[in-house]
């Protein structure tokens, strides 16, 4: 670690000024090059949701050169008189890729990261929580490898908290299509034939000319669907709508946005907000008009997206967090998302970890409300029953 030091960035303007260095490191990070580490995604998230939090971006430098960036923030969580200060990844919406570190510097950078955590967490008032780390992250592997160097001072607890179904795309559509179940192929053919016989059907990708109109329709459909289930969900929050609107306009300029609509008689029946980055399609929120449910527009739109992704030479479709049964119609593969919590070893560390886990569950219920928390629990149970009925055997990739 000779010549390696860690600098902490706490100023928003300095965060913005890092864009050039950020992009260069990300492009050299190989398999850990993710859209969720892009400066555009993280800085936009910070502008919309940074209030009440503190930036804590780590620049790992060697001989005056930045060899790694770990985009963290400090957040205070409070329930009554109890409070915790957590160190988390910026923009932890769907997954936490931990940092931007090219392969040739990973060993030194990870050791520097752990040394920083060792010093900060030993003060006893801070906890590191990485909420959703993909299990195939190379940086996660190195964190595990080097954690033993600091085991006298740090306690690290891992738990699988979510699945993220994905499709490794083959070379041709025919190859993929014939890998699907006969039942699904029959359903798709019947639904498409029925819809085309009765209506005019199109797939349209949004452009700069119609993005605002399509986004407004997207938010409206998303909210209507969830209100029908007595839930408000994401886009009831104006900040979330503004974040996705801002991100869409930035990603459109970078040619990363893939926001497509399936229209029926020129009306939007389903809209899929997706992004394409590093030959990978990230399937983010979906909004659907319930009037067209009988035509299986969700299945049809997904089929068109997969076919187009294969045609364009993409390597993967990531359905993101959540093991909902409908995702497993298209794949039997899923990544595990790992939650990592790190505290100082100190007195009664095992008990403190249990108390922290209880606190975080109570805080989540407080944020969602009792009614919403109960409804979400019922939805998860229903999804598990449906997967069992489907006979799903999930291969953890």
pLDDT surpassing 80 at residue 93: no
User: Which of 104-113, 172-181, 225-234 shows the lowest mean pLDDT across its residues?
Assistant: 225-234
Per-residue confidence band for 248, with pLDDT thresholds at 50, 70 and 90: very high
Question: Which pLDDT score, from 0 to 100, does residue 369 have?
Answer: 74
pLDDT at 347: 81
262 band by pLDDT with thresholds 50, 70 and 90 = very high
pLDDT of residue 125: 78
Mean pLDDT lowest among 4-8, 124-128, 266-270, 294-298: 124-128
Q: What is the mean pLDDT of residues 221-246?
A: 83
Please state the rounded mean pLDDT for residues 36-62: 94
Give the whole-angstrom CA distance, residue 16 versus residue 27: 18
**CATH architecture for residues 170-314:** 3-Layer(aba) Sandwich (3.40)
Q: Please give the mean pLDDT across all residues of the chain.
A: 87
CA distance 275 to 235: 18
Distances (CA, A) of 341 to 121, 127, 212, 284, 304: 11, 7, 40, 26, 40
Q: What is the pLDDT of residue 33?
A: 83
Lowest mean pLDDT of 147-156, 217-226, 353-362, name the range.
147-156
pLDDT of 387 reads: 53
pLDDT value for 171: 96
**Given this model, what pLDDT does residue 325 score?**
84
Q: Give the tens place of pLDDT for each residue, 48-60.
A: 999 999 999 999 9
Query: What is the pLDDT confidence band of residue 384, given thresholds at 50, 70 and 90?
Result: low
Domain ranges of the chain: 4-161+337-347, 170-314
Which of the following CATH numbers is that of domain 4-161+337-347: 1.10.287, 2.60.40, 3.30.70, 3.40.630? 3.40.630
Say if residue 226's pLDDT is above 90: no
- Report the 10 Å Cβ neighbour count for 247: 20
Matching fold, domains 4-161+337-347 and 170-314: yes
Residue 230, pLDDT > 80, answer no
Q: Does the pLDDT value for residue 1 go beyond 60?
A: no
3-state secondary structure of 116: helix
Burial 278-313 (b: 16+ CB within 10 A, else e): bebbbbbbbbbbeebeebbbbbbbbbbbbebbbeee
Structure confidence at residue 397 (pLDDT): 44
Calculate the alpha carbon distances from 83 to 7, 86, 113, 349 in Å.
Answer: 27, 10, 25, 17
pLDDT for 6 equals 93
Determine which of 39-48, 147-156, 163-172, 185-194 has the lowest per-residue pLDDT on average: 147-156
Q: How confident is the model at residue 386 (pLDDT cuts 50, 70, 90)?
A: low
CA 17 to chain centre: 25
Position 170 pLDDT exceeds 60: yes
């Amino acid at each position: 670690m000779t010549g390696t030091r860690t600098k902490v960035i706490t100023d928003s303007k300095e965060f913005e000024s890092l864009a050039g260095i950020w992009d260069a490191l990300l492009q050299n990070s190989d398999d850990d090059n993710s859209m969720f580490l892009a400066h555009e995604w993280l800085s936009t998230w910070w502008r919309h949701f940074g209030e009440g939090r503190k930036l804590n971006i780590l620049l790992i430098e060697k001989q005056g050169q930045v060899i790694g960036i770990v985009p963290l923030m400090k957040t205070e969580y409070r329930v009554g008189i109890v409070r915790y200060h957590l160190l988390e990844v910026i923009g932890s919406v769907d997954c936490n890729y931990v940092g931007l570190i090219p392969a040739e510097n990973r060993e030194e950078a990870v050791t520097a990261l752990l040394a920083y955590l060792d010093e900060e967490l030993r003060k006893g008032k801070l906890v590191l929580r990485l909420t959703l780390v993909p299990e195939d992250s190379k940086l996660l592997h190195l964190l595990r490898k080097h954690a033993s160097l600091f085991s006298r001072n740090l306690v690290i607890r891992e738990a699988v908290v979510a699945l993220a179904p994905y499709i490794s795309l083959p070379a041709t559509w025919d190859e993929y299509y014939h890998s699907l179940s006969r039942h699904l192929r029959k359903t798709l053919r019947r639904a498409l034939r029925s819809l085309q016989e009765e209506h005019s059907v199109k797939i349209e990708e949004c452009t700069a000319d119609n993005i605002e109109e399509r986004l407004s329709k997207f938010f409206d459909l998303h909210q209507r669907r969830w209100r029908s289930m007595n839930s408000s969900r994401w886009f009831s929050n104006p900040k979330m709508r503004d974040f996705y609107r801002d991100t869409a306009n930035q990603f459109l300029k970078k040619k990363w946005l893939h926001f497509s609509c399936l229209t029926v008689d020129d009306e939007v029946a389903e809209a899929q907000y997706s992004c394409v980055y590093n030959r990978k399609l990230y399937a983010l929120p979906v909004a659907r008009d319930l009037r067209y449910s009988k035509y299986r527009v969700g299945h049809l739109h997904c089929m068109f997206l997969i076919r187009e992704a294969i045609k364009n030479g993409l390597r993967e479709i990531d359905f993101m967090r959540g093991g909902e049964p409908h995702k497993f119609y298209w794949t039997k593969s899923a990544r595990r998302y790992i939650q990592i919590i790190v505290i100082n070893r100190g007195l009664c560390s095992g008990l403190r970890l249990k108390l922290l886990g209880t606190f975080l569950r109570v805080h989540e219920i407080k944020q969602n409300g009792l009614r919403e928390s109960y409804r979400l629990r019922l939805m998860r149970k229903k999804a598990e029953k449906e997967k069992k009925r489907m006979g799903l055997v999930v291969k953890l990739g």
